[in-house]
Amino acid sequence: MAAVEQWETEARRLGQRPLDEVDPEVAEAIGLERVRQAEKLGLIASENLVSRAVLEAEGTVLTNKYAEGLPGGRYYGGCQYVDQIEELARTRLCALYGAEHANVQPHSGAQANMAVYMALLHPGDTVLSMDLAHGGHLTHGSAVNFSGQLYRFVHYGVNRETERIDLDEVRAVAERERPALIVAGASSYPRTIDFAGLAEVARAVNALFMVDMAHIAGLVAAGVHPSPVPHADVVTTTTHKTLRGPRGGVILCRAAHAKAIDKAVFPGIQGGPLMHVIAAKAVCFREAAEPAFGAYQRQIVANARALAGTLAARGFRLVSGGTDNHLFIVDLRSQGISGRQAERALDEAGIVVNKQLIPFDPLPPMRTSGIRVGTPGVSSRGMGEAEMTEIGNIMADVLGAVGRERGGARSGTEGTTQRVRALTARFPVRA
């Protein structure tokens, strides 16, 4: 009887104890991460700061609900409310981009891409995509990724002189290889992508056309970058980069592919969807439809240009000469330092970037000759062009000091951390 009473007492208390009491180690790590995000400038192009509403939606009781299947056709009972939420997310996403069909269940952008390949291809089919070393993505055919192991990927890159996509090269490779699918989209390409031109190449070789717009989805939603939706058979994206939503993926497609796409997501590659994340996606899509979101996206681009311009004025070479979107790549070879060294030095100063291959990079991926810099996160904090000039000068001071240290001179970077902290204090993380 005592054991039963003890269990009843524990059951009543289940879920009522706070995190710092249940697991102080995890709580401490979360607290430290909160401080890190608040006190450092996040310039990683694939990261952003979500709104309070997105955070609230994701941290709800929806995490308790299993909901395999689609709204109106679940394999579990009790799905009437999660059906409403998923249908809101799906219809809002279609309206945001003018798409015929949407699936909001993929757990990530990688799984969205996997589902598309499964729906449209057979193992061993030929796919043409952008070379990872020139700015493409791991799931666009890297040999270490499922995509490169299950399908025969061939690649196009950027022109050595302009460092931009050359449609004539894409056309030549497509005519030679006759791919079943052409994939557009990139993870580190600072220029506008000509979706209409690439779609024309795909039609000329009777290939399907897919666009992975993960990095530029927010820009597209706001009309700051041309939309791939009118030109592509299928469009995938993450929701956590410029779109400023929770971590996850979605798929947009023509109605003709809807059934195959939905079947590939479930039961093809996933079981139950993450309903708490889908709720946060729905909130994100609503926020992206607001006029303020367009102003935010325009500020992201203005900030990227201002920050890139400051570094260029300080003597740093930019891949392709600049940027049209939310990111740019800095070539560090003239400074005599690697991307890995730059990443570490900037992090110590309170600025977070990632090392990045430049086109035709002589260094390996874990060292690199460049860094990738993006402005979605600092723009979410409310910073503008004046702050980008300040950040650019801090970065130039830090990176110049690293180069001097390699030459045996004193670094002279005292006070850079304080300069960063002054900025983050003026523009706090509000979520």
Catalytic residue of the set 56, 68, 194, 405: 68
298-357 pLDDT per residue, tens: 999 999 999 999 999 999 999 999 999 999 999 999 999 999 999 999 999 999 999 999
**pTM of this prediction?**
0.95
186-195 pLDDT per residue, tens: 999 999 999 9
- With the C-alpha atoms ordered 176, 179, 184, 186, is the resulting torsion angle positive or negative? negative
Stretch 276-291: mean pLDDT: 98
For the chain, helix (H) and strand (E) counts, in that order, are 17, 15
Catalytic residue of the set 39, 47, 56, 66: 66
How many whole angstroms separate alpha carbon 399 and alpha carbon 332? 9
351 phi and psi angles, rounded to 5 deg: -120, 125
15-42 pLDDT per residue, tens: 788 999 999 999 999 999 999 999 999 9
Active site residue 68: yes
Active site residue 241: yes
- With the C-alpha atoms ordered 268, 155, 209, 273, is the resulting torsion angle positive or negative? positive
**Strand, helix or coil for residue 372:** strand
Catalytic residue of the set 238, 239, 416, 424: 238
Catalytic residue of the set 65, 244, 247, 355: 247
Q: Is the pLDDT assigned to residue 412 strictly greater than 70?
A: no
Catalytic residue of the set 90, 191, 241, 355: 241
How many whole angstroms separate alpha carbon 414 and alpha carbon 397? 10
Active site residue 263: no
**Strand, helix or coil for residue 351:** strand
Active site residue 65: no
CA distances from 43 to 31, 52, 140, 304 (A): 21, 21, 24, 10
Residue 100's identity, in one-letter code, is: E
Confidence of residue 144 (pLDDT cuts 50, 70, 90): very high
Active site residue 296: no
Q: What is the pLDDT of residue 426?
A: 97
Kind of pairing between the strands at 181-184 and 126-130: parallel
Catalytic residue of the set 212, 262, 324, 361: 212
How many whole angstroms separate alpha carbon 38 and alpha carbon 78? 40
Active site residue 238: yes
Indicate the average pLDDT of the chain.
95
How many whole angstroms separate alpha carbon 327 and alpha carbon 310? 14
